[in-house]
Structure 1
Amino acid sequence: MNHPHHSPRLQSAARVFGQIAAILVAFPCLMSAQTTAPVPAQGTSAKDTTGEPVYVLNAFTVTGSIKPESRLNSPLAITTIDRAKIETMAPRSIDELMKVIPGLYIESSGGEANNALAVRGIGAGSGFKYAVILEDGLPVVSEADTSFTTADNYTRVSTWIANVEGLRGGSSGVFTSNAPLATINFIGRQGAQTPDGEYKLEFGDYGLIRNDAWVSGPVNAQTTYALGGFYRVDDGLRSPGYKADKGGQLTLALNHQFKDDKGYFKITGKALNDRTAFMLPIPLTGTTADPKTIPGGPDLHTGATGSPDVRFFSFPNSPIGAINHDIADGIQVDLKYIGSELHVKLSDQLALENRNRFSSVNKSWNSNPFSTATSLQSIANSLATSGNVPASTWAAALGSDGNYRFRLTAPGQAGAVVAADATAAAALNGNGLGDLMNHWKSEAIFRDFQDDLRLIASLNDGKTTALAGLYMKTDEETRLWQWQTMLVDVSSSYRRLDLSYVDATTGQVIGQYTYNGAKQVGTTYRHGTANIDEVTPYFDLTHTQGPLILDAGARFLNFKYRGSYETARTYDLNSYAQTTANPYPALLNAQFGSGNYNNTNAAEHKVAYTVGANYTFSQNQALFARYSSGSRLSNSDIIIQASTNKNVGNVVPAHIESLTQYEFGYKYGGQHLAAFLTFFYARQRDVPNTGFQLVNGTPVPVSFTTGLNNVGVELDTTWNPVRHLSIDVRGTVQQPKIVTPGLVNIAGTLTSLDGLNPTRTPKVYGSVTGTYTFDETSIGRPAVNLGIAYTGSRPTNQNANPNAIPLSAFTEVTAGFSLAFHHSLTFRLEVSNLLDSAGLTEGDPRAPSGNAGAYFNARPILPRSIVSSLTYSF
Structure 2
Amino acid sequence: MMRIYLLACSALCTVSLAAGAASAQTQDQSQASVPAPTPSVPTADTAPQDEHSDIIVTGSARQQRRFDVSYAVNSLSQADIQKLAPKSTTDLIGTLPGIHVEATGGEVQNITRVRGIPTDRGFLYYQQDGLPLFQELDGWFFNQGDGMNRLDLMTDRIEVVRGGPAPIYASTAAAIANVIEVTGSDTTRAKVQATVGDTGYYRLDAYQAGPLGGDTYYAVGGFLRYHDGYRDSGFPSDRGGQIRANIKHDLANGFIKLSAQYTDDHNVFYLSIPTNDPRNPTVSLNKYIDYFDGTLNTPELRNVNIRYRDATGAIQNQRGDLANGRHMQFGNVAVDYEGDYGDWHVSAKGGLTMGKLHFDAFYSTSNPVDAGIFASNYLTAARTAFGSGITRTGYSFAGTGGQTPYDPSTDSGLVMQAQYRSIQTDFYSSQGDLSVTRKFNTGIGTHDLRVGSYGSLWGQKMFTAYQNYLIQVRSQPRLLDLAAYDSNGSVRGYVTDNGSLNDAVSLNAGNVDGRMIAAYGTDTWDVTDRLRFDAGIRHEWYSYSGYARLTASYNLGNAATLADNNTRGFTGAIGQLRLKQQATNWTAGANYDLSRHLGMYLRASRLEVPQNTTIAFNFPTPAVIPTNAKLYEAGVKLAAGGSYLYVTGFYTKFDPLNASFAGFNPATGRADVTTTFIGTAETKGVEADGRLRLPGPFSIAGSVTVQNPRYLNFSSNTGLDGSRANGKQIIREPKLFLNVRPTADFTFGTTDVSIYGRYDYVGRRYTDFFNSTALPAYGAFGLGGIVSNGAWQVQVVGDNITNAHGFTEGNTAGDRFGQGVPTAIFGRPLFGRNVRLIVSRKW
Counterpart of 1:350? 344
Instruction: Give the alignment partner of residue 820 of structure 1, picking from 780, 784, 788.
Output: 788
Aligned to 1:302, which of 293, 314, 321?
A: 293
CA distance in 2, matches of 1:569, 1:380: 28
Task: Determine the C-alpha separation between the residues in 2 that align with 1:217 and 1:416.
Answer: 67
Q: Measured at CA, do residues 219 and 321 of structure 1 come closer, stay the same or move farther in structure 2, by a change above 3 Å?
A: farther
Larger mean Cα displacement after TM superposition, 307-316 or 654-663: 307-316
User: Does the alignment pair 1:676 with 2:646?
Assistant: yes
Alignment of 1:428-443 (within 5 A): 429=411, 431-443=412-424
Q: Equivalent of 1:736, from 699, 702, 709?
A: 709
Change (3 A) 1:239 1:745: farther
Cα 1:693–1:551, aligned 2, differ >3 Å: closer, same or farther?
A: farther
Opposite residue 290 of structure 2, the aligned amino acid is: D
State how far apart, in whole Å, the 2-side matches of 1:507 and 1:164 are: 65
Which of 394, 397, 401 aligns to 1:409? It is: 397
Deviation at 1:857, TM superposition (A): 2.5
How far apart, in 1, do the equivalents of 2:792 and 2:292 lie?
Answer: 35
Give 1:553 shift. 0.2
CA–CA distance in structure 1, aligned partners of residues 473 and 426 of structure 2? 35
Deviation at 1:531, TM superposition (A): 1.2
The question of whether the paired residues in 2 share the 8 Å contact of 1:130 and 1:632 is answered with no
Distance 1:243 1:417, change over 3 A: same
- Alignment of 1:165 with 2:153, yes or no, is no
Distance in structure 2 (CA, Å) of the matches to 1:221 and 1:291: 72
Give a deviation string over 1:755-776, Cα, whole Å, max 9, x none.
1111000000010001111122
Letter in 1 for 2:614: D
After TM superposition, the structure 1 = structure 2 runs for residues 203-282 of structure 1, keeping only pairs within 5 Å, are: 203-258=196-251, 260=252, 262-282=253-273
- Tell me, yes or no, if the aligned pair for 2:306 and 2:467 is still in contact at 8 Å: no
Larger displacement relative to structure 2 (631-640 or 210-219): 631-640
- 2:156 matched to 1:177? no
The question of whether the paired residues in 1 share the 8 Å contact of 2:306 and 2:465 is answered with no
Q: Which amino acid aligns with 1:311?
A: R
Write the letter of the residue equivalent to 1:418.
P
Correspondence for 2:584: 607
CA distance in 2, matches of 1:304, 1:670: 48
Q: CA deviation at 1:436?
A: 1.5
Any conservation in 2 of the 1:410–1:418 contact (CA below 8 Å)?
no
Aligned to 1:27: none
Question: Where do 1:270-669 residues align within 5 Å?
Answer: 270-285=261-276, 293-294=284-285, 296-314=287-305, 319=310, 321-345=316-340, 347-370=341-364, 371-385=366-380, 391=384, 393=386, 395-398=388-391, 404-411=392-399, 417-419=404-406, 424-427=407-410, 429=411, 431-460=412-441, 463-503=446-486, 505-546=487-528, 547-574=530-557, 580=558, 583-641=560-618, 645=619, 647=620, 651=621, 653-669=623-639
Aligned to 1:711: 684
Per-residue deviation, 1:127: 2.3
Tell me by how many angstroms 1:595 deviates: 2.5
1:783-812 CA-to-partner distances (Å, cap 9, x unmatched) read 2111101000001122xxx14231100011
SS at match of 2:90: helix
CA contact (8 A) 1:282 1:305 kept: yes
Higher relative contact order (CA 8 A, sep 6+): 1
Supply the distance in 1 between the matched residues of 2:376 and 2:401 (Cα, whole angstroms): 25
SS of corresponding position for 1:770? strand
Candidates 749, 768, 778, aligned match of 1:797: 768
Q: Which residue does 2:18 correspond to in 1?
A: none
Deviation digits for residues 430-474 of structure 1 (CA, Å, limit 9, x no counterpart): x12211121111221111111111111121189221111111001
Letter in 2 for 1:253: N
2:12 alignment counterpart: none
- CA distance 1:703–1:112, change in 2 (3 Å): closer
* Secondary structure of the structure 1 residue equivalent to 2:92: helix
For residue 811 of structure 1, what is the aligned residue in structure 2? 779
Does the aligned pair in 2 maintain the 1:45–1:85 contact within 8 Å? no
- Amino acid in structure 1 at the alignment position of 2:326: I
Normalising to structure 1: TM-score of the pair? 0.86
Kept in 1, the 8 Å contact 2:514–2:543? The answer is: yes
Identity in percent: 23
8 Å contact 1:534–1:557 — kept in the other structure?
yes
- SS of residue paired to 1:830: strand
Cα separation, partners in 2 of 1:701 and 1:284, compared to 1, 3 Å: closer
Q: Is the 8 A contact 1:621 1:669 kept in 2?
A: yes
Describe the SS at the equivalent of 2:386.
helix
Q: What is the aligned partner in structure 2 of residue 192 from structure 1?
A: 185
Q: What CA distance in whole angstroms lies between the structure 2 residues aligned with 1:788 and 1:111?
A: 20
For 1:10, the equivalent position in structure 2 comes to none
Does residue 761 in structure 1 map to residue 733 in structure 2? yes
- Matched residue type, 1:814: G
The separation in 1 between residues aligned to 2:245 and 2:325, in whole angstroms, is: 27
Size of the aligned set, in residue pairs, is 788
Aligned partners of 1:623, 1:290: CA distance in 2, in Å? Answer: 50
Distance 1:727 1:448, change over 3 A: same
The answer on whether the counterparts of 2:440 and 2:447 sit within 8 Å (CA) in structure 1 is yes
SS in 1 for 2:374: helix
Q: Which amino acid aligns with 2:454?
A: Y
Distance change (3 Å), C-alpha of 1:309 and 1:543:
same
For 1:788, which of 759, 768, 772 is the aligned residue? 759
User: Which ranges of structure 1 fall in alignment gaps of 5 or more residues?
Assistant: 1-40, 48-53, 399-403, 575-579
| Aligned mates of 1:393, 1:185 — CA distance in 2 | 61
SS at match of 2:79: helix
Distance 1:693 1:45 in 2: 61
